[in-house]
């Protein structure tokens, strides 16, 4: 809106956006079945394992699956609001001088989830040990915290294997009641002043100068994927492979020698 009062031209404006982003994120929404030919491969009598002679189609026809991938069919659903307003005065001081004075306010809400289904990894320290300085081959070092809303503690309990994996990698798990829908704090006082001056030196020459402070608005709605973290989003691959010396029942952890697998020796 514009209102002219004498030598002043007052302008007012507002921008209100309610953004909702929803899209499917599941890795295996309908399951994934893998046949890689390992069951119909020819075995070396010398005991060196299988050779690459099997066929995926033959494994499928004989109902010998290598592995299956599973994941819940979740959707990523974010909401965020963008609110802004401005006022500006274009003041005609005299026939040669014009001043522009204004201010704008921006509020940009972070991507949020109504169901408290967000998790974030906060890195506290990080480093790298170079090869030959105490650790063979070098190693990454550091510490982090895996942060979840306190409301998700009982609704989405963490598995013991996940907690053990976090502990081994020097990552602590913490619950917070601060900003439970987003886990992110945003700026509340984004006031942006605008100042401009123009002066007409003669009929052919005008000098202009200006200053303004600007805040970035929404560049990528739904880009911060805090919802696609465990325990809200995950995938499990169950293996059942004959790997030379043994066979395993399906396990959520790969490898025939894995302690979590029920493996047994078999004759080929």
Strand order across the beta sheet in which 32-34 lies: 32-34, 67-70, 236-239
Reply yes or no on whether the pLDDT at 200 is more than 90.
yes
DSSP assignment string, 121-182: EEEEEEEEEPTTSSSTT-EEEEEEEEEEETTHHHHSPPPHHHHHHHHHTTEEEEEE-SSTTT
Q: Is 92 left (phi over 0), alpha (psi -120 to 50) or beta?
A: beta
Per residue in 48-63, pLDDT (tens digit) is 554 556 788 887 888 7
Between β-strands 32-34 and 67-70, what pairing exists: parallel, antiparallel or unpaired? antiparallel
Per residue in 123-173, pLDDT (tens digit) is 998 887 776 666 555 577 889 999 999 999 988 889 888 899 899 889 999
Q: Is 104 helix (H, G, I), strand (E, B) or coil?
A: strand
Per residue in 82-99, pLDDT (tens digit) is 999 999 999 999 999 999
Model confidence band, residue 110 (pLDDT cutoffs 50, 70, 90): confident
Report the pLDDT value the prediction gives residue 137, as an integer from 0 to 100: 53
Average pLDDT score over the chain:
79
Mean pLDDT of 235-257: 50
Reply yes or no on whether the pLDDT at 267 is more than 60.
no
Per residue in 171-183, pLDDT (tens digit) is 999 999 988 888 8
Higher pLDDT: 207 or 180? It is 207
Reply yes or no on whether the pLDDT at 261 is more than 50.
no
Report the pLDDT value the prediction gives residue 83, as an integer from 0 to 100: 92
Report the pLDDT value the prediction gives residue 249, as an integer from 0 to 100: 43
Per residue in 6-44, pLDDT (tens digit) is 999 999 999 999 888 777 777 777 888 888 777 777 655
In the numeric block, which tokens belong to residue 139?
């190693």
**CA-to-CA separations, 16 to 77, 84, 87, 105, 109, in angstroms, rounded:** 20, 7, 15, 12, 12
Q: How far apart are CA 56 and CA 190, in angstroms?
A: 60
In the numeric block, which tokens belong to residue 198?
């123009």
In the numeric block, which tokens belong to residue 79?
């909401």
Q: How far apart are CA 80 and CA 222, in angstroms?
A: 9
- Across 17-21, 219-223, 252-256, least confident range: 252-256
Q: How many CB atoms lie within 10 A of CB 105?
A: 15
Q: How far apart are CA 204 and CA 6, in angstroms?
A: 26
């Amino acid at each position: 809106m514009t209102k002219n009062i004498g030598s002043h031209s007052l302008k007012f404006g507002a921008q209100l956006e309610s953004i909702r982003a929803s899209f499917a994120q599941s890795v295996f929404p309908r399951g994934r079945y893998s046949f890689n030919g390992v069951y119909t491969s020819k075995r070396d009598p010398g005991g060196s394992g299988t050779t690459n002679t099997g066929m995926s189609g033959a494994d499928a026809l004989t109902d010998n699956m290598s592995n299956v991938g599973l994941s819940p069919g979740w959707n990523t659903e974010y909401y965020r609001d963008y609110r802004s307003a401005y006022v500006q005065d274009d003041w005609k001081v005299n026939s040669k001088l014009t001043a522009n004075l204004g201010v704008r306010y921006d509020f940009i809400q972070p991507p949020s989830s109504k169901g408290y289904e967000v998790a974030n990894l906060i890195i506290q320290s990080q480093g790298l040990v170079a090869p030959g300085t105490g650790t063979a081959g070098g190693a990454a070092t550091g510490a982090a915290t895996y942060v979840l809303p306190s409301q998700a503690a009982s609704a989405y309990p963490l598995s013991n294997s996940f907690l053990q994996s976090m502990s081994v990698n020097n990552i602590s798990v913490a619950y917070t009641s601060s900003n439970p829908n987003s886990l992110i704090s945003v700026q509340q006082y984004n006031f942006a002043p605008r100042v401009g001056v123009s002066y007409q030196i003669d009929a052919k020459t005008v000098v202009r100068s200006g200053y303004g402070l600007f805040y970035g608005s929404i560049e990528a709605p739904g880009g911060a994927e805090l919802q696609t973290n465990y325990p809200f989003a995950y995938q499990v691959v169950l293996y059942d492979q004959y790997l030379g010396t043994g066979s395993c029942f399906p396990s959520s952890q790969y490898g025939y020698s894995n302690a979590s697998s029920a493996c047994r020796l078999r004759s080929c």
